């Protein structure tokens, strides 16, 4: 119950500030459209301004804000995709049928692992928020199936890893763990690669959607 107590002891403003991050990723997952993805990334960029739970120097936190602002610009941009009629397909239903149980199972396992640890309230919030953000980011990646919108998913998973490593550093008495900003560097590299892939698909295939990767129809 210490994990629940760590969250219920927070003021309402801090609850909104922290839980707004995974909720914004969920909105980008559940609601279609580039404007929703851009707005969700912008909300997270603003939340990172005061995200002291990262336990990182201010330049690292500022770079997270900048990274999310760039994700908002790119994920919310129009790109060069060509509008095309989309026939009704069952691929979306099949992807959801696989992704939802897998994503929620992974999320439940991560939260259960965190709840079994004897952590201080701040570290418990860091670890659980990191697991939650990582889980919804993975769920977004599996269900949205859009290379440009996948920038939101990759950034969410990276931010979740940064929070998890912050909690791990607090419990590391040897101080030999992953330094602050390592997840940021890996996330930025992955986002650059994903953006190049999205640009190439928009330029040559005229669609960044994974659903249009194969033109074969059963």
Q: Provide the 3-class DSSP secondary structure of residue 121.
A: helix
The secondary structure of 150-187, three-state, reads: HHHHHHHHHHHHHHHHHHHHHHCCCCCCCCCCHHHHHH
pLDDT under 70: residue ranges of the chain? 1-3, 78-104, 106-107, 109-118, 145, 172-177, 204-218
Contact predicate 139/29, CB 8 Å: yes
Q: Please tell me the pTM assigned to this model.
A: 0.80
Q: Give the pLDDT score at 93.
A: 46
Burial per residue of 56-77, b for 16 or more beta-carbon CB atoms within 10 angstroms, e otherwise: beeebbebbbebbbbbbebbbe
Triad 36, 158, 11: Cα angle to 5° = 70
pLDDT for 115 equals: 64
Predicted pLDDT at 49: 92
């Amino acid at each position: 119950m210490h994990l629940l107590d760590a969250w219920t002891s927070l003021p309402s403003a801090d609850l909104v500030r922290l839980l707004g991050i995974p909720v914004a990723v969920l909105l980008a997952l559940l609601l279609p459209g580039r404007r929703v993805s851009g707005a969700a990334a912008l909300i997270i960029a603003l939340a990172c301004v005061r995200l002291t739970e990262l336990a990182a120097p201010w330049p690292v936190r500022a770079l997270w804000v900048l990274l999310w602002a760039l994700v908002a610009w790119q994920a919310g941009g129009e790109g060069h995709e060509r509008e095309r009629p989309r026939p009704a397909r069952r691929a979306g239903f099949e992807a959801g049928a696989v992704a939802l149980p897998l994503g929620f199972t992974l999320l439940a396992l991560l939260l259960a692992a965190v709840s079994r640890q004897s952590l201080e309230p701040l570290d418990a919030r860091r670890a659980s928020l990191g697991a939650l953000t990582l889980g919804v980011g993975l769920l977004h990646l599996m269900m949205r199936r859009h290379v440009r919108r996948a920038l939101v998913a990759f950034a969410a998973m990276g931010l979740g890893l940064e929070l998890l490593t912050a909690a791990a550093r607090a419990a590391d008495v040897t101080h030999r763990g992953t330094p602050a900003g390592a997840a940021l560097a890996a996330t930025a590299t992955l986002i650059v690669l994903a953006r190049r892939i999205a640009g190439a698909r928009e330029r040559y295939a005229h669609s960044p959607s994974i659903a249009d990767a194969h033109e074969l129809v059963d």
